[in-house]
């Protein structure tokens, strides 16, 4: 029993970081769900999303930026709906995240969810709040 007292154990390199990230995510607000407002296609993606600014994003992003992002998404849907739209939207959201939203500690992604009104699946835009990197910890 006492032999374990003096034993030196090496921690996995990512363990501490993962634990810290999980701790920060625990306190992050619930993601904002932006549901489609148009006709839902056979594969569950709406043909447009509503411009209404979600109140949990107040102070995080300008309403004009939100509207511009939704406009680009709706334009992509209009142009690419007959072809592989889901991949096009995912690429667009990745571009939006890199351009602006990751700097604001937000992450936009396409997520498949069960409809509230029926048993069908639909794609929604999830806007997740990313944990802020603690600046008091050394690299």
Q: Which residue in 49, 59, 63 sits closest to 92, CA to CA?
A: 49
Cα-Cα-Cα-Cα dihedral sign, residues 77, 110, 57, 17? negative
In this structure, how many other beta carbons lie within 10 angstroms of the beta carbon of residue 24?
14
Q: What is the pLDDT of residues 24-73, one digit of tens each?
A: 566 777 888 888 877 766 567 788 898 899 999 999 999 999 999 999 99
User: What pLDDT score does 101 carry?
Assistant: 94
- 77 pLDDT above the threshold of 90: no
DSSP state string for 22-79: HHHHHTSPPPEEE-B-S-B-TTS-BS-B--PPPGGGTTTS-HHHHHHHHHHHHHHHHH
In this structure, how many other beta carbons lie within 10 angstroms of the beta carbon of residue 97?
18
pTM of the full structure: 0.68
Task: Tell the residue number behind the tokens 């306190």, with chain if given.
Answer: 27
Rounded distance between C-alpha atoms, residue 104 and residue 127, angstroms: 12
User: What pLDDT score does 79 carry?
Assistant: 81
Backbone angles phi, psi at 40, to 5 degrees: -85, 130
């Amino acid at each position: 029993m006492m032999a374990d007292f003096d034993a030196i154990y090496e921690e996995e390199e990512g363990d501490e970081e993962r634990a810290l990230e999980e701790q920060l995510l625990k306190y992050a607000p619930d993601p904002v769900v932006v549901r489609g407002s148009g006709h839902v296609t056979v594969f569950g993606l709406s043909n447009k999303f509503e411009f209404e600014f979600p109140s949990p994003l107040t102070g995080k992003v300008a309403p004009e930026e939100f509207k511009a992002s939704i406009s680009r998404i709706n334009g992509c849907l209009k142009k690419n709906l007959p072809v592989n739209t889901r991949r096009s939207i995912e690429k667009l959201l990745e571009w939006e995240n890199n351009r602006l939203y990751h700097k604001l500690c937000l992450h936009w992604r396409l997520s498949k969810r069960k409809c509230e009104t029926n048993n069908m699946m639909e794609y929604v835009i999830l806007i997740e709040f990313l944990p802020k990197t603690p600046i008091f910890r050394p690299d």
